[in-house]
Structure 1
Amino acid sequence: MNWNTVIDKALEVLRNSDRGYVLMDMYNNILTPEEAAFNKVQVTPYNALKFIQTQFSAQGLDISDKNVRIKLIALLEEFDRLQKERIK
């Protein structure tokens, strides 16, 4: 399980989304409208949030659950706090 890859892909989806949708070609590559038009590639609009949830669920993390997200944020903040204390 490589969380770094999953997070990078999710960030790419969010950067390329327009009002919650991304454009995907037949190989599931995410394209901007400009790239699709310039390369004359047929694309399908896809729900960006659903795509991200599917990617994380495949890795065993249900980010659609608000409690899971809150706990994950709390975990990361506590981890950062402990790292700072350890450095001192």
Structure 2
Amino acid sequence: MATRPPSTSFFALAWAGLAETGKARAALDWLLSKRNILGELPELVDGDGNPASTVPLAWTGSLLVLTISQLQTHSIETPPPAH
């Protein structure tokens, strides 16, 4: 089964914005472990953990940078929860 680094990067940013740092860091660790030899993130990862599709995806990398920034500075505003 293939997994999707772009989706994981969205979750990482959301968790960072909600101050769920453990979940965000776990997602970041997973993402970083899926980089290819050049440090690029793929669109898909196969069941063996290898890139299985398009590389690189700039927006996945951008979300990774935003997540790291949010974890370090908490400067990205998030919308209030819906009630």
Q: What TM-score, normalized to structure 1?
A: 0.41
Q: Which has the higher helix share?
A: 1
Query: Which one has the largest radius of gyration?
Result: 1
TM-score by length of 2: 0.43
Q: Name the one with the larger strand percent.
A: 1
Higher relative contact order (CA 8 A, sep 6+): 2
